[in-house]
């Protein structure tokens, strides 16, 4: 859906494993599957990032005028609604 190249996902995942933010283990139920989980350090980093998101969003969107911000908000709302539909 996001047109992300699988090899890019693998590289990013391997980097997250390398820095200790996630772990990857073989499933005990199905040896073909891997379970990817946040580590304790990864959860701490996520919590820190979550707290900083409002400021990060403001910084990223400061290049937009108010009309553009409104359009972006509408587009993001549509995308979120579509994702909700996919999860049903």
| 24 SS3 class | strand
- Record the pTM: 0.61
Q: Name the strand (E) or helix (H) holding 36.
A: strand 34-38
Phi then psi for 73, rounded to 5 degrees?
-60, -40
Tens-level pLDDT at each residue, the chain (88 residues): 566 788 888 899 999 999 999 999 999 999 899 999 999 999 999 999 999 999 998 999 999 999 999 999 999 888 888 776 766 6
The helix (H) or strand (E) run that includes residue 50 is: helix 40-61
Rounded Cα gap, residues 16 and 50, in angstroms: 17
The domain locations on the chain are 1-38, 44-88
């Amino acid at each position: 859906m996001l047109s992300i190249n699988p090899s890019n996902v693998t590289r990013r995942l391997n980097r997250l494993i390398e820095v200790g933010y996630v772990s990857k283990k073989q499933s005990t139920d199905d040896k073909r599957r891997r379970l990817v989980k946040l580590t304790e350090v990864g959860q701490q980093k996520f919590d820190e990032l979550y707290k900083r998101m409002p400021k990060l969003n403001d910084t990223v969107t400061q290049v937009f005028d108010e009309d553009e911000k409104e359009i972006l908000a509408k587009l993001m709302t549509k995308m979120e609604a579509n994702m909700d539909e996919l999860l049903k």
